[in-house]
Amino acid sequence: MAGGITWHYVLKFIITGDAAVGKSSLLIRLTDQRFLANPDPTLGVEFGSKLIEIPEEGKIVKLQCWDTAGTESFRSITRSYYRGAAGCLLVYDVTSRNSFTNARSWLADVREHADPHLTCILVGNKADLVSDPAGEGGTGSGHGRHREVTTEEAEIWAKEEGLLFVEASAKSGQNVQLAFEQASRDILDKIKRGV
Ligand code: GDP
């Protein structure tokens, strides 16, 4: 890598969860620092790559992120992408109870097909819609704009399942890089411990 930045680890991440929870938007936010109010509907699997630094480890990590399609009909396609993944963002929409309920079956799917040591972070996306009491959250997904999933219940479920957890917003950028960083730290820790 003449003159370029080099990295210590390449970590494959998958982003999974229901359609319209904001998986593509999280990936675009991470890699491009932008937000599209009307992105193309996800019709397959998109890919993005980003270097992040984990300063306390003194390591640069190259994230290779695969955005899996959210619809049932694509499950058979996306399953092959679980292979070799070190990290998973399991995404739901804090304004959609249904997407949170369905996170259980996405997690089951991940557990069935991915490496058992995979680090999974539960991401409650669209936090911008509920942090603004006036409800002027901008373009949403067509759901109501009030919170349907409390932070506490998501935290409890994440703990039960051994998942990391964060609420985030692809729109504002809040906690998006942090989600990937937290998961990456956990993965590096597992590598150090030889897990
Ligand atoms: P995907 O199907 O899970 O990949 O979801 P998309 O990324 O295509 O997003 C679905 C819709 O939700 C789009 O209209 C996005 O602009 C919107 N959206 C995604 N993330 C956020 C967010 O954090 N806040 C708000 N307000 N809207 C979001």
pLDDT tens digits for range 22-43: 998 999 999 988 898 877 665 5
Residues with CB under 6 A from ligand 1: 19-25, 36-39, 42, 70, 125-126, 128-129, 137-141, 169-171
Residue 136's pLDDT band (cuts 50, 70, 90) = very low
Nearest alpha carbon to residue 178 among 127, 105, 139: 127
pTM: 0.89
Rounded mean pLDDT of the chain? 86
Of ligand 1's listed atoms, the one at least distance from the Cα of 21 is 3
Asked if 147 and 94 count as a contact pair (C-beta separation under 8 A), the reply is yes
Q: Name the closest-CA residue to atom 11, ligand 1.
A: 141
Candidates 95, 141, 167, 169: which one to mutate for ligand 1, based on the most atoms within 8 Å of Cβ? 141
pLDDT tens digits for range 100-131: 999 999 999 889 888 889 999 999 999 999 97
